[in-house]
Amino acid sequence: MLGKSITNLMQALKQLPAIGPKSAQRMALCLLLEHNHTTAKKIITNLTSAVNNVRQCSCCQMLTEDAVCVICNDPRRDSRCICIVSSPADCIAIEESSIYKGKYFILTANLSPIDGIGPEELGIDNLLIQIENNCVSEIILATSTTPEGEATAYYLSEQLKKYKLNISRLAQGIPRGGELEYIDSDTLAHALDTRKQFI
Amino acid sequence: MLGKSITNLMQALKQLPAIGPKSAQRMALCLLLEHNHTTAKKIITNLTSAVNNVRQCSCCQMLTEDAVCVICNDPRRDSRCICIVSSPADCIAIEESSIYKGKYFILTANLSPIDGIGPEELGIDNLLIQIENNCVSEIILATSTTPEGEATAYYLSEQLKKYKLNISRLAQGIPRGGELEYIDSDTLAHALDTRKQFI
């Protein structure tokens, strides 16, 4: 019963991350009500401008409006340490914790053979160039603890072995402030297994 | 740390229904990765075309590409019965149940004094014109069972009293196929209170 314009818009919105057919329909119908046309136009203008102006940093592959991003350009950041993450959002999450003072490298994707994403799709050429040129001594593998993230971390550690770097992975266990009864059993089992000496 | 283009895009996306700052950030960062530029451009094109081509039906206020929507244009639909809903999505939901053969009227909003939405913002001028011109004999108040939806239904019933119409409201109770133990207590109390003679 909806026309071609609305159906096409719903199809396009459905490709956004975590948006299913019902949410895409809700967004499309909401944007097309006359009193929401300003919002729709704002999205068109800002998305057009962002697609034209934003690129990936030539060093770390973070999204930026310049050739090199603010972190890579910051002389106070320690370029001997690189934290490898799977997406720009993961890089922002670590930055928000305000503890890390090294540099980053953002992968194009996680390994996922089921989706046809093999080692070539990780986009690590720039990473290898940086390790060779910048006296890098430490690598933090901060990919997710999903099967894809774990496989990616393992693959990278194998690839980087020859450079004789200090390679670490983020600690895994019970989240800080977490109530034990609400922690899933896989996490609990792992936390028990890798428990640390207290005193 | 993100540039102006990305921040502006995130601000615009945050205005979509049910999208908070975290989801808006995720969408923006995802769309700006080079391999997703096709999706971003598809959204720009389809949203531009939809905003330009889609308008509200001059009879029922449903979204349509024509001056009058397919339902209002369908001579097989009973124009003596009007089902009043609060949004185009609600109209689609009722159409999907395939049981209703009358016409619709889509309100611009639900009454919500807290958001500054008073009776004038409901946009019922077209509804009154139709009731007066089309020998309407029945009105179904299909607004939601939220406080705003209930207030809107009550206000409309008061406004329509003078036309001597048969005014009904959707039945309220336990959803079909619902397991009793998972039904909220307000719904259960109401269902008990308005229980129906069985045999």
Full DSSP string of B117-163: B-GGGG--HHHHHHHHHTT--EEEE---SSHHHHHHHHHHHHHHGGG
Nearest of A171, A50, A15, A167 to residue A105 by alpha carbon: A167
Q: Helix crossing, A21-32 with A37-53: angle to 10°?
A: 110
Q: Is residue A58 less than 8 Å (CB to CB) from chain B?
A: no
Rounded to a whole number of angstroms, the distance from the CA of A194 to the nearest CA of chain B is 32
Instruction: Give the residue from B39, B43, B60, B95 with the most A CB atoms within 10 Å of its CB, the best one to mutate.
Output: B43
Give tens-digit pLDDT for B125-180.
Answer: 889 998 988 889 999 999 999 999 999 999 999 999 999 899 999 988 888 887 88
Q: Residue B1: pLDDT above 80?
A: no
8 Å CB contact of A39 and B9:
no
How far, in Å, CA of B89 to CA of B178, rounded? Answer: 23
Give tens-digit pLDDT for A91-122.
Answer: 999 999 999 999 999 998 899 988 888 888 88
> What's phi and psi for B55, nearest 5 deg?
-135, -175
Give tens-digit pLDDT for B74-118.
Answer: 999 999 999 999 999 999 999 999 999 999 999 988 999 888 888
How far, in Å, CA of B108 to CA of B142, rounded? Answer: 14
pLDDT at B93: 92
* Under 8 Å between Cβ of B79 and B134: yes
Give tens-digit pLDDT for A133-183.
Answer: 888 999 999 999 999 999 999 999 999 999 989 999 998 888 888 788 888
CB atoms under 10 Å from CB of A121, counted, come to 16
How many angstroms from the chain centroid is the CA of residue A34?
A: 36
Q: Residue A27: pLDDT above 90?
A: yes
Full DSSP string of chain B: ---HHHHHHHHHHTTSTT--HHHHHHHHHHHHSGGGHHHHHHHHHHHHHHHHH-EE-TTT--EESSSS-HHHH-TTSEEEEEEEESSHHHHHHHHHTT---EEEEE-S---BGGGTB-GGGG--HHHHHHHHHTT--EEEE---SSHHHHHHHHHHHHHHGGG--EEEE---SSPTT--GGGS-HHHHHHHHHT-----
> What's phi and psi for A144, nearest 5 deg?
-65, 170
Beta bridge partner(s), residue B118 = none
Q: Residue A1: pLDDT above 80?
A: no
Nearest of A75, A107, A74, A102 to residue A90 by alpha carbon: A107
Kindly list the residues from chain A whose CB atom is less than 8 angstroms away from the CB atom of residue B34: 55-56
Give tens-digit pLDDT for A54-80.
Answer: 999 999 999 999 999 999 999 999 999
Q: pTM for the full model?
A: 0.81
How far, in Å, CA of B18 to CA of A25, rounded? Answer: 12
pLDDT at B71: 95
- ipTM surpasses 0.90: no
How far, in Å, CA of B142 to CA of A100, rounded? Answer: 54
- Chain A, 64-123: which have a CB under 8 Å from a chain B CB? 64-66, 69-71, 87-89, 92, 95, 108
Q: Is residue A34 less than 8 Å (CB to CB) from chain B?
A: yes
* Under 8 Å between Cβ of A63 and B52: no
* Under 8 Å between Cβ of B174 and B183: yes
Kindly list the residues from chain A whose CB atom is less than 8 angstroms away from the CB atom of residue B45: 12
